[in-house]
Amino acid sequence: MASGAPEVFGIPLKYVSLVVLTVQNSALVLVMRYSRVVSTEHYYTSTAVLLSELLKFCVCLYLSAKESARENGGRLSLRQLYTDVLGGDSWKMMIPAGLYTIQNNLQFVAVTLLDAATFQVSYQLKILTTALCSVVLLGTVLNAKRWLSLVVLTVGIVLVQLPSSDSVSAPAAATRPFLGLLTVFIACVLSGLAGVYFEKVLKGSRKSVWVRNVQLSLFSMLPALFGVFFVDGAGVRQNGFLYGYTKWTYMAIACQALGGLIVAVVVKYADNILKGFATSISIILSCLASVWIFDFHIRPVFMLGTVMVIYATYMYGSAGSPPSAKHSPLPTSEPSRAQDAPGRSSADDDAGIHMDDLSSESSAHNHNHNHNAKAI
């Protein structure tokens, strides 16, 4: 182990963060799903997304303030912090913020329409959409191994979605596979677009990753408020902002909001291969937990598809960046992967808080007419 590498109780931080990320990725999907089925009074997802963004904003603002104080000899300059957050090109964060807000709402909708295991596996489609967006919008060149991994990933997700005549994993009214998969697909496309845009904005930027995520959370609250007032407004006015909330709702909000912080630590101290491994383990844990919690029945074709997705995820992360790439680094399974900035290490600008992601990230949340979904 390298001298001076950060540790937690004598264990290298990169391994601790990977374990925490694995648990968080699994817990997020399970808790989100459970929070939607534990009560017949479904909460409004727009309110959950708003609270999640508010929590992210507070945490990232604290970290930004702490970082700013450290750079100024221990003294916090509120004027400097204000300039960092709202000055310069902060307005550029409005586009990815809006996309992430829709995506976050869609995650809640999708996990309502799909069982937790199917959602967890299907959501790895974000690797494909991010890669394609990077190729089309940034001119990234993928090597053969990564193209092959994307093909394997797509086939695996298709197998997971195949219906089974003898499946009894959930009542017909409880899950709606086609609509759920469509919701996941839209969320993944938005994740790819937002991640690539975020990457492009960060090129040449010297702003801290925490400052950028304060901006993202701040601007995300604006469309989130739109959802609360104009999409779910009638229901919120009639039933209240916290209608249908349980302890599981608050846990889902916390998991989603804080998951991105874990991703930032993982990207800083670990690497893509270890991240892919953590994602693969979280998929396995989610599937096993779904059997116990939701009485999910694992079919042979589902198992085959899951194995293919896990393998593709690991293969994509371990492929490395080809020397012919016009832009580097290539997109990873995290939608908010950032470019290195001049004069800064890749660790500084390597991860965004919006995963989702999280996520499984995350961590990780909208509908069109259903963008800020009413209870389903």
Segment 19-50, tens digit of pLDDT: 888 898 899 999 999 999 888 889 999 999 99
Enter the pTM of the model: 0.77
Tokens of 214: 């304060």
- First-to-last alpha carbon distance for the chain, in angstroms, is 50
Percent helix / strand / coil, the chain, rounded to 5 = 65, 0, 35
pLDDT exceeds 90 at position 105? yes
The mean pLDDT of the chain is: 79
Interval 298-330: pLDDT, tens = 889 999 999 999 999 888 888 765 444 444 333
More reliable by pLDDT, 40 or 182: 182
3-state secondary structure (DSSP) of residue 14: helix
Q: How many CB atoms lie within 10 A of CB 159?
A: 20
Rounded to whole angstroms, how far apart are CA atoms 292 and 307?
20
CA distances from 282 to 53, 166, 369 (A): 24, 27, 32
pLDDT exceeds 90 at position 181? yes
Instruction: Write down the pLDDT at residue 271.
Output: 64
228 — pLDDT class (breaks 50, 70, 90) = very high
Hunting for tokens 């053969």 — which residue is that?
144
Q: DSSP characters for 183-206?
A: HHHHHHHHHHHHHHHHHHHHTT--
Give me the residue spans of the domains in the chain: 16-71+85-163+177-318
Interval 242-299: pLDDT, tens = 999 999 999 999 998 887 677 767 766 766 667 777 888 899 999 999 999 988 888 8
More reliable by pLDDT, 280 or 163: 280
Can you tell me the mean pLDDT for 356-369?
36
Q: Where are the alpha helices (DSSP H) in 206-353?
A: 209-226, 233-239, 247-269, 272-293, 300-318
Hunting for tokens 């904005």 — which residue is that?
201
DSSP 8-state symbol, 231: I
Q: What percent of the chain has pLDDT over 90?
A: 44
